[in-house]
Structure 1
C-alpha cells in the first residue's frame, strides 16, 4: 500500500512505497541524495550505489527536477533532517520525466515567478505558506463551531455596495446592474437575525488600483456577525479568535514556520487581551512620532498603521473613529455621536489592519437618516432597512482578511504569496 510523506513517521524501520516528485538532488560517486515531495511534505531519499545496483543508481543520478516517481525504501529516523526522517531508497520507477523545468534552484525575479505561479507553488517555501493558510482556515471553522456560530454563505453577486464605495467590479445581471461582492456583511446581519451567531468565509473583490504589498484585487474574508452583542463584547471575540489562530499555527505548523525562518517568539507573545487606543490617542501618538500632517478626521494609511504598531508588541485595537470616515451602518457612540463604535485591529511587525469591525446601527429612524445622508437606493437596500423594522436588536460584527493574516503569521513581505493564484492590478495570469 502506498504511503505519504506525512505518514512515514508511523513506519520507521519498515519498507514503504510512495508517489513523489523530485524537487532537487545532489550526488557523489557512491551516494545520491534526492529531495522528494508529494504534496503532504518533503523528505530526503538516500540512494547508496552499493545497496541498489548500477541501474537504479544511474537513474537516481540522472533523474531531472520535477520528474514524477514511485519510490520504494525503508524509513529511518534522522535528527539532522528538519522533518526528522529520511528514506533509504531501494527502488525507483519513473512515471513521467520532466524536461527543462523553468524554476531552477537559482534565484529568479518576482515577475518570472508570478508568471509561473502554477509551478512556483511546488517550492518548499510556497508550500509552507499554503499549509499555514490551510491551518488558519481549519482553526477558523473549529473556533466558530466550538463557540456556537453557524456558517452562512452570502452571495458573491450583489445589487448594491456593502460600504457605499465606488471601488466595485460591475457586471450585467441579465437586464439589471450587479456587482462582485466587496463584503458579505450586510447579508450576514440578516443571517444573525435568524440564527444569532453566524460567520462566512468567502472571496471578496475590490476594484482598487493599488500596488502596495498589502493589497489584492480578489481576497478572502472571514466575517462573523452576532446578535445581542455590543462593541466591547465583539472586541473580546476578535482577540480570542486571533489568539486561537496563533496558537493553532504554532502547534500544528512548526515545520512550516521553520522553513520560512519565522521568528516564532514574536508569535508566541500573541495572547488576549490586546491593547486598545482610541482614534484620538492614535492621532496624538502619530503627531508625537513626527507625522505633523495628520489631522483629526483623516483616515490612517499604511505608514500611520505601521508607526502605531511599533509602539506595541501585540496587535492593537484602534477604536472610535470619526463617523464621517467610516461606513454608513456603524453605530454612533451614544456619549459622543461624532465617533462610531468601531475598531480596526492592527497587526504588529508592519502587517497593517487585519480586522475591521463595529457595532451596527439598530435604530430604524437613524438608519433611514443614514440612507438619506449617503444617498442609498431605497430599492436596493429596502431589505437591509427591514432588519431594523422587524425585531431589531443590538448586534456587532467584523471581518478578518485572510491573506494579510497569513502574511503576518508566515512572515512573508507581500500578500501575493499568501493566496494560490493572486489577482493584482496588472495580473490576471495564470
Structure 2
C-alpha cells in the first residue's frame, strides 16, 4: 500500500494508495457514491461502487458528512472528464472524525458570513486555488531574486520613524519611547544595499488607512528590492522582468488553479517584458481628453484614473515622472526638471490598479537634508539614514510590490480580501 497525497496521485496510476482527506462534498445514487475529497494538496473524486465494496462500506460512504475527516484507500485511475485528470476507485473508508453541522454548505453565502467564517472558508476550492497562486508568486519571487544576485534581508517591523510620514501609521509604546508598525522596510533596505549591493525584503507592512476599497488592506505583504549603482531606467527593467517572471511561473505551475478560478489566461500570456510607459504629463492630458475634467497637473490619480489609463494597454503600464509634491522626500529629482522626480508606478491591467511604486533615491547629502527639512521631519531620527549619503554614497534605486494586489490581478479575483489567509480590514480583526 502506497501512502500518497492527492497531488501525488498522477505518479501512482493503476496502483492502490492510501490518502488522508476531508469530505468536501458528496452525492450518491442507489449503486454509486461520489466523494469529493480534499487533502490540502488538491481535490479528487472518490468513486464508491456498491457492488465492489459491499453494503456496509457503501452505507458508511453515503453517511459521511461535509468536512468529516477520513482515510481512504483506493485504485488511482485516469479520468479525462475530471479537471484534475484522475479519480480514485475507493476500496476502503476509515472515519477519523465526523463533522456535524458544518456552517458553509454548498450554496450561496453572504460576504460577511464568509468572512466571519474565514477559518473555514479557506477550505473551499476557490480559496484553495487563490492561496496556491499566492504561494507560487512567493516561490517565484525567491527564485527570481536569488537567480539575479540579490540577498534577502529582513528589516524591522517596529520602527522609530516613518518613511512616508506618520499619518497612516499604527503607533505603539516601545518601553518609554514612541514606535510604529512598519509601513515599509525601504529605508532599512537602502542601508542593506550599501552593504550587500542588491537586496530584497519580503514581509508584512501596516497602513492605518480608513479605506474600504477592494484594493486596500490594513495589513499586507510587500516585496521591496533595493539596488546600489542602479539608476532609474535600469530599475524599471528589473521591475518588468520580475513581474513577467512571476506571471509566467503562475501560468506554468498553477494551470489547474487558474482554471478553477475561471481566469482568462490569454490575458496573462501577453504579460512579457518590456512594458509600455507614459509620463505623468501625458497621462494628465490623456485623462483630460477622456473627459476627466476633475484632473489637473499636480493632482494624484485615483482608481478611476488609473483604470482608464490601463485600459489602453494589454500589459501593465508604467506612469513615470510624477510631480515632486506628490511623492515622498527621498525620491531623486529629474536632473532636467526639478518639479518632477525619477519615479514610476506600475499599473496592472483589468482595473487592478497600482501594484508597484518605485524610484531612484536621492544620493546627494545636501539635497536629502533639504528634503528632510522641507517635510518637517526630525533630523535626529533620520540621522542614520542621512549617514548613508555621508559615507560612500552612490546612485541607487528600488521599488515595492504589493503581494495581495498582485495575487488579485493574476488570479482574477475582485477583492484583495480573498488574497490573504486572514485579511485585516477597517471593520475586521476577527478571526
Is TM-score (shorter-chain normalized) higher than 0.5?
yes
2:137 corresponds to: 136
Structure 1: distance between partners of 2:369 and 2:379: 9
Structure 1: distance between partners of 2:139 and 2:34: 34
Structure 2: distance between partners of 1:115 and 1:181: 27
1:234 corresponds to: 235
2:333 corresponds to: 332
Give deviations 1:301-355, integer Å, cap 9, x for gaps: 1111011111111100000000001000000000001100000000000000000
Structure 2: distance between partners of 1:380 and 1:173: 15
1:181 corresponds to: 182
- The answer as to 2:11 corresponding to 1:10 is yes
1:145 corresponds to: 146
Matches within 5 A, 1:182-197: 182-197=183-198
Structure 2: distance between partners of 1:143 and 1:57: 50
Structure 1: distance between partners of 2:122 and 2:29: 29
1:348 corresponds to: 349
2:422 corresponds to: 421
- The answer as to 2:412 corresponding to 1:411 is yes
SS at match of 1:168: coil
SS at match of 2:8: helix
Structure 2: distance between partners of 1:383 and 1:46: 65
2:169 corresponds to: 168
- The answer as to 2:103 corresponding to 1:106 is no
1:382 corresponds to: 383
1:215 corresponds to: 216
CA displacement at 1:394 relative to structure 2: 0.2
SS at match of 2:30: coil
Paired residues of 2:373 and 2:379 also in contact (CA < 8 A): no
Structure 1: distance between partners of 2:335 and 2:193: 23
Structure 1: distance between partners of 2:73 and 2:101: 25
- The answer as to 2:48 corresponding to 1:25 is no
State the TM-score, normalized to the length of structure 1: 1.00
SS at match of 1:114: helix
Paired residues of 2:133 and 2:411 also in contact (CA < 8 A): yes
1:34 corresponds to: 35
CA displacement at 1:293 relative to structure 2: 1.0
Structure 2: distance between partners of 1:221 and 1:293: 31
Structure 2: distance between partners of 1:361 and 1:320: 14
1:308 corresponds to: 309
CA displacement at 1:53 relative to structure 2: 0.5
2:120 corresponds to: 119
Structure 2: distance between partners of 1:63 and 1:164: 56
Structure 1: distance between partners of 2:378 and 2:195: 24
SS at match of 1:388: coil
Structure 1: distance between partners of 2:419 and 2:57: 39
Matches within 5 A, 1:12-91: 12-91=13-92
Structure 1: distance between partners of 2:287 and 2:178: 42
1:320 corresponds to: 321
SS at match of 1:5: coil
Q: Which segment is superposed worse, 165-174 or 252-261?
A: 165-174
SS at match of 2:350: coil
Structure 1 segments unaligned to the other structure (5+ residues): none
Structure 2: distance between partners of 1:111 and 1:189: 41
Structure 2: distance between partners of 1:108 and 1:2: 36
Structure 1: distance between partners of 2:314 and 2:372: 40
1:370 corresponds to: 371
Give deviations 1:267-308, integer Å, cap 9, x for gaps: 000000000000000001110111011010010011110111
Give deviations 1:252-277, integer Å, cap 9, x for gaps: 00000000000000000000000000
SS at match of 1:380: coil
CA displacement at 1:4 relative to structure 2: 0.2
CA displacement at 1:165 relative to structure 2: 4.0
Measured on the aligned residues, the alpha-carbon RMSD in Å equals 0.5
Structure 2: distance between partners of 1:314 and 1:402: 18
Structure 2: distance between partners of 1:225 and 1:247: 23
CA displacement at 1:164 relative to structure 2: 1.7
1:96 corresponds to: 97
CA displacement at 1:144 relative to structure 2: 0.1
- The answer as to 2:292 corresponding to 1:291 is yes
